[in-house]
A and B are shown apart, each in its own frame.
Chain A
Amino acid sequence: MTTPLTLVVAERPDGTPVLAVSGEIDMSNAGALDDALTRSTGDGLLLVDLSAVDYLDSAGLTVLFSHSSRIRLVANPLLAPVLTISGLTEVTTVEGIASDGTATGSDDS
């Protein structure tokens, strides 16, 4: 069973291209995300919408890092700790989480 992952390319009402990702991202399917990001061309930053992703690990992070200069992200609070800890929030814009949203394993408040 491969990890469930859906990748949909759409446009926002303002014409901005969006890659909408839903499901879970791990080493078994990070390649598919990389392919989708590589294929999508266009001017300006590509918006990658991760709000429907409920699992993201270092394999997915590595793909996002490799495309960090041409993407911006929309995420959900569940992903906040990994995005912050990995430092991705410092090299690309992430919407949908608190900018200071740090999290550690010992703190689930």
Chain B
Amino acid sequence: MTRGDDAERGPVAAAGAGIFTVDDEVGRDLAMVDWRATPLGPPSEWPQSLQTTVSILLSSRFSMWMAWGPELTFFCNAAYRRDTLGRKYPWALGRPAREVWAEIWDDIGPRIDAVLATGEATWDEALLLFLKRAGYPEETYHTFSYSPLRDDTGAVVGMLCVVSEVTDGVIGERRMATLRDLGSDPSVVRTEQEMLAFACRQLDRNPHDLPFTLTYLFDDHGRARLAGATGISAGHPSAPVTLPLGDPGGVWPAAALAQGKSVLMALDGTRFAGLPSGDWPEPPAQALVVPLLQQGGVPHGFLVAALNRYRPLDDGYRGFIELAAGHVAAGVASARSYQAQQRRAEELAELDRAKTVFFSNISHEFRTPLTLIMGPVQELRTALTDADEQVRQDLEVVHRNGLRLGKLVNTLLDFSRIEAGRMQARYEPVDLAAVTAELASVFRSAIDRAGLVFEVNCPPLAEPVYIDRGMWEKVVLNLLSNALKFTFEGSVGVTVRAEGAHAVVTVTDTGIGVPAEEVPRLFERFHRIESARSRSNEGSGIGLALVQELVGLHGGTITAGSVAGEGTTFTIRLPFGSGHLPAGSLVPPRAAEVVSATADPFVEEALRWLPGDGVAAEATAPAGVSTGAQPSASGEGAPARVLIADDNADMREYLVRLLKGAGYLVSAVSDGQQALDAIRADAPDLVVSDVMMPRLDGLALVAALRADPRTAGVPVLLLSARAGQEASIEGLEAGADDYLVKPFSAAELLARARANVELARMRGHHARWRNAMIDSLQEAFFVADENGAVIEINSAFTDILGYGPEGLPYIPRYPWWPDESDDPQAHAKVAEVFARLVGDGRGSAVVPVTHRDGHRLWIAATFNDVSDPDTGRRRVVGTMRDVTAERYLVQRESALAALSMRVSQADDLTDALCEALEALQGVWHARQVLAAVWNGDGPPDLVCVPEASGWQDLPERSREKLEALREQPPLRPVAPEAGGAGVTLEYPGGLLAVWIDLGQNRPFTGEDQTLLALLAGHLGQGLHRVHQLDQQREAAVALQRAILGPARLPSGFAVRYEPAGRPLEVGGDWYDIVPLAEERIGIVVGDCVGRGLEAAAVMGQLRSACRALLLQDAGPAQVFSALDRFAALVPGAKCTTVFCGVLDTATGDLVYSSAGHPPGILAHADGSVVLLEGGRSTPLAVRPGHPRPEARCTVPARSTLLLYTDGLVERRRRPLTAGIDQASAAVQAGRSTPIEDLAADVMADLAPDGGFNDDVALLLYRQPAPLELAFPAESRQLAPVRTALRDWLSRCQLTPKLIQNVLVAAGEACANAIEHGHRHAPGRTIRLRAVATAGSLHLTVADSGRWKPPQPEANLHRGRGVALMRALMHEVTIHPGAAGTIVDMHARITR
């Protein structure tokens, strides 16, 4: 027991404990140590060196401890106690150092021994020491220096340790590195496995904070599966491969984690025996198990993080593990969603392919045999009119069912066309009532025959409706057929009427109806209502679905209303006009046509349902208007396809029959325009066209075909009634391949046709080869004409952009050109490249385009100018590649780089956030980016780019969006609607919500969300880092300011300090102003050797020691004698130069001494300058024990004293005296300048070009210090104020007359302030300030009231007072103001 806290004696301060009074707390505890029990003995007997060292130790605010004497007895100061000693205080005081730091003696003992043996100081930076200051060995890092301490004889008897603990910095940096690595570009990681491997690699690199980790993921079987491990071998008992969720005895509490709870577990018991210890001597004792959270769902799994047993689990540690888990969870989520998307996309594509294949097969597999059935049947029916009745009936059956099958196949084909967007509708304006009534009439006989009433009510409509006749037929016939099928008594009705902007068509029946729950499914494809009574069990369940699709194509709607047992009503609404239809598919009205062949199968089928009726309607399928095929006569390869264009139906049928008979696949149209359309959609092997035709004649057709590169090669055989050479030449000149004049023989036609087809096939071989090659290109290929119109593309082009050959030519502006209003930048970019394409004809560029389905693509296009070898016309051919993914990758990387750079260059946290928001704004060209930080109950702090006012002034919608974001887990972007997106992240001190306002309903895509999540993650880390740096910087600045000098100066002084080593705020120079008893002030200016932090550390010690000595009333000589001894003990303090003086401000008497310091400069009021060159001796610690001289002088009234360090005056290649002269001149010139301004002027005058290159300290004083009085506004205060002012004025050494003048003027100003300013509030404060310079006096009287301008009539003597002031002073200014009135008065002092 070394401390004197014996109960009997009570705490008794040891004798001679006066040296401990420097510090309250530690000093008190040191005083209570029983020093007699230590080898040092009672403090009263301590050598001077020990006493001095202890008092320096206690007065320093640097963390320090020291050891002295044979047992190295332990001392420390308050900073050390706070930062390092922990629970060992006060036990450690007075104990042998070996005992105090037993646990690290192996580390520090040898260092101390070395210091004692050699007398040389040690230096260690961030040394790892396991301190037991908190009851357990703790991982701590220290930067410290041991320096020798010497006794009065100069022998080394102890050591001093100056230390700063850097534990937080070292550990924080280590954790940050792990988080940074975890967050580093996961964009290349695709699968969950890759992601986990990546994360494990990063976690494994930090075995200090994570001795071992286990990552478990929940699977679908109620188990957690080990997915990754670091620092621990796979077979370890505490790392089971699976963990059942329901098993309470599992190694890890999987069930609790599945509910999202974190669990802190002690790692004891046998199952945790033999755990790996990471980088530590002992295995971990605890593990924190945290869930891998998933937004809106059960966690993905959990992360077991074994804890470093040498660190407490504080908020920082817990936060680190949760952040690490957050990264793993985000990675798992991202990998899973990526895989799911990938899978969905593949499934959809597969489904689509299967469907397309299926319907294409139907087309070939059904239609071809059907045709081959129907053709011969038709012929048999004709041939066997006289045959046996049974045979004829069988034939009818075959015929009718053939029609039915054909109808079904056609319906299915319609569907596949609609789905592929290939339904070529041609909408023409019609009188819907008339057309519908005509269609209905087809069914009249069947309905009559069924014994039902048929009510058709179709009055003409005022406006036309645009319909595709073919489609509309199918709509009406399907509905009527349906009505008849399910109606056994009552009626079937058809009505047409106008209702607002729509034509409304209803088909009503009184049939069996449908149950209410089935109504919504009526239009479902292949859905059949079970057990419904009907006239037939036949039916595919596809008719109504087709009706709905067809009505939809017309921009209309169809609804069904039905009551079981009462009947059904279908209601169709079609809009009037054509605005809702694609403009390209409108055609002018045609002559009314009779109901087409489509109706036959419907009616035939319906009639077959009716009982006892075998009579079929007349079958009139006209062979001429449908495609057909017969075995090719020639038998070589695929049959050639021929298109016939003739407006004469007889001629058309004749040609069809003729060519079909020869084995061609024939189709026919009735004019040139139809022919052109048909050829462009699907070019035949030969076109046989009449010359004279409506709309587009044969010659124009040929010209149009030849003008289009896709059809330029289609052979055309023209037929004309016009004979003669010219006509034939005209036709051939137009580009026709052959010319035949009517009448022609069948053989002639067939011969010409055959010759042309074969010729064209030979010719086309080259072209086909070229086309096949272009089509096989992986890159999109296009050809544009001289105006930029795209006239040829390949299939990759369609794959990339969604636009196929059916839309050719694509005229600028192309449909994939981004919309100008939606995205003006993209629009302009494409316009610029397009201009090059048309202008230069060559180049390459990356441009944004819009896919046919609306999504944004980036393509790299390269194009070149060529000349068409046939026509000589200019063409541009180009290729394009989809670089969207690459572009987003680059964009992501550059956005990350920009963000990181801006955040890292920020000065503080708010600045960093602003920079980050600007970066986000830049990435998305956002209209506005808002960030709100909630760190309490009040409204959040708002940061906004571009800048805006506070939270309360935000629009309600923006506030709601930010509020809603608060519910989101961090780092999960939310884009609830187009036009913006938000994300939250952890922010030092609260939650940060960021909202990116895109404006204009711009979409925020999945890519954007990924990018935002990534940026937010990095931002969170960046802000965290900036926050840490902020704190470190603040601490450093506070520490520096603490050792620099007094923050508040007594009046009359001005100082400047300019350290050479930026960004440090301190250097080796210093100034100090120490108020002493009575009116004395100690003034010190000093200069340690060197600069930067090391010099600053020495400076801080010397400054404190010097200040302490002055406060003990030592004179300058005494101060220096003591400092000589002290400086000898402080490494680096030797050779410091100091000027130290004690000034009596009442008399101006100055006692001073100079330790090798440049002389002070004293500029008298009369302009003479004196250097304070007395009291000079050597710098500190050069000749210890040598007596120090002192000198005396007087600082006369209104003179200016300048003290400085040599940095102000010393220049290369110039004697020091030249600099001193320059400084003298500056002070002399400024002797009438206010003291603060003079300080600035001197610094500016003496600064060399490029600034000072050494530390500069400067101190200015002008005698006497300004007078400052504050007194209540009462008239009885006037006399004492006058006395004080008179006294101060006499110190200024002025003539009695000037003194009297100033007294009266000031008295008048004060009287005014009392009388007027405070008439209604007596007793409030009036302030008077008086400042003297060499040549002038300046007085200010300020009150807090309002002066009235003098009104001589009303108040004679008030006017007299102001007049007196003006007459007695050189210049008087009265500044009335809301806060009070200020009177400024100047008087010049002349001699």
Contact = CB atoms under 8 A, between A and B. Distances in A.
Given A57-B1304, A81-B1301, A24 B1282 contact: yes
Contact of B1369 (A57, A86, A105): A105
B1303 interface: yes
Given A2-B1276, A26-B1278, A57-B1364, A62 B1357 contact: yes
A65 B1352 CA distance: 14
Interface string A94-109: 0000000001111111
Given A27-B1315, A58-B1364, A103 B1301 contact: yes
B1370 A106 contact: yes
Nearest to A108: B1298
B1275 interface: yes
B1303 A55 contact: yes
A27 B1389 CA distance: 29
Contacts of B1361: 57-59
Interface residues of B, number: 37
Given A59-B1357, A105-B1370, A3 B1297 contact: no
Nearest to B1360: A58
A27 B238 CA distance: 96
A82 B1363 CA distance: 10
B1314 interface: yes
Interface string B608-652: 000000000000000000000000000000000000000000000
B1302 A1 contact: no
A55 B1387 contact: no
A60 to B, nearest CB: 9
Given A65-B1356, A81-B1297, A58 B1282 contact: no
Contacts of A106: 1369-1370, 1387-1388, 1390
Contacts of B1308: 57-58
Interface string A1-23: 11110000000000000000000
A82 B1367 CA distance: 9
A55 B1282 contact: yes
A26 B1387 contact: no
A40 interface: no
A26 B1356 CA distance: 15
Contacts of A36: none
B93 to A, nearest CB: 55
Contact of B1307 (A26, A65, A78, A86): A26
A28 interface: yes
A50 interface: no
Interface in B491-541: none
A86 B1278 contact: no
Contact of B1279 (A28, A56, A59): A28
B1294 interface: yes
Given A78-B1296, A105-B1370, A108-B1301, A62 B1279 contact: no
Nearest to A85: B1367
A75 interface: no
A46 interface: no
B1199 to A, nearest CB: 19
B1304 A1 contact: no
A24 B1358 CA distance: 19
A27 B1311 contact: yes
Contacts of A48: none
A73 interface: no
Nearest to B1296: A78
A109 B1389 CA distance: 10
A37 to B, nearest CB: 15
Given A81-B1300, A108-B1294, A2 B1367 contact: no
A86 B1370 contact: no
B1304 A55 contact: yes
Nearest to A24: B1279
Interface in B1336-1391: 1356-1358, 1360-1361, 1363-1364, 1367-1370, 1387-1390
Q: Which of A4, A54, A57, A81 has the most CB of B within 10 A?
A: A57
B589 interface: no
A103 to B, nearest CB: 6
Given A85-B1367, A105-B1298, A108-B1390, A26 B1275 contact: yes
A1 B1360 contact: no
Interface string B1297-1333: 1101111110110010011000000000000000000
A61 interface: yes
B1280 interface: yes
B835 to A, nearest CB: 79
Nearest to B1356: A62
Q: Which of A58, A104, A106, A107 has the most CB of B within 10 A?
A: A58
A58 B1358 contact: yes
Contacts of B559: none
Contact of B1367 (A28, A105, A108): A105
A55 B1368 contact: no
A95 to B, nearest CB: 19
Interface in A20-68: 24, 26-28, 54-59, 61-62, 65
B1194 interface: no
A59 B1358 CA distance: 8
Contact of A104 (B1279, B1295, B1303, B1367): B1367
A10 B508 CA distance: 137
Given A106-B1370, A108-B1297, A27 B1278 contact: yes
A106 B1368 CA distance: 7
B1280 to A, nearest CB: 6
B642 to A, nearest CB: 122
Nearest to B1366: A105
Contact of A108 (B1295, B1305, B1314): B1295
A59 B1301 contact: no
Nearest to A26: B1278
B1368 A85 contact: yes
A103 B1387 CA distance: 13
Contacts of A28: 1275-1276, 1278-1279
B513 to A, nearest CB: 112
Contact of B1357 (A1, A61, A103): A61
B1301 A1 contact: no
A82 B1304 contact: yes
Contacts of B1389: 108
B1374 to A, nearest CB: 15
Given A27-B1311, A57-B1307, A81-B1368, A86 B1275 contact: no
Contacts of A56: 1304
B1357 A58 contact: yes
Nearest to B1297: A108
A54 B1308 CA distance: 15
Contact of B1311 (A2, A26, A85, A108): A26
Contacts of A2: 1276, 1279
A103 B1297 contact: yes
Contact of A26 (B1279, B1358, B1388): B1279
A107 to B, nearest CB: 8
Interface of B: 1275-1276, 1278-1280, 1282, 1294-1298, 1300-1305, 1307-1308, 1311, 1314-1315, 1356-1358, 1360-1361, 1363-1364, 1367-1370, 1387-1390
Given A2-B1276, A28-B1278, A108-B1294, 5 more contacts: A3-B1279, A26-B1282, A27-B1314, A85-B1368, A108-B1301
26 contacts: A1-B1280, A2-B1276, A2-B1279, A3-B1276, A3-B1279, A26-B1307, A27-B1275, A27-B1278, A27-B1315, A57-B1364, A78-B1297, A81-B1297, A81-B1301, A81-B1304, A85-B1364, A86-B1363, A86-B1364, A104-B1301, A104-B1370, A105-B1369, A105-B1370, A106-B1369, A106-B1390, A108-B1295, A108-B1390, A109-B1390
Task: Give the top 6 A-B pairs by smallest Cβ distance, nearest first.
Answer: A62-B1357, A58-B1361, A108-B1298, A28-B1275, A105-B1369, A3-B1279
Interface of A: 1-4, 24, 26-28, 54-59, 61-62, 65, 78, 81-82, 85-86, 103-109
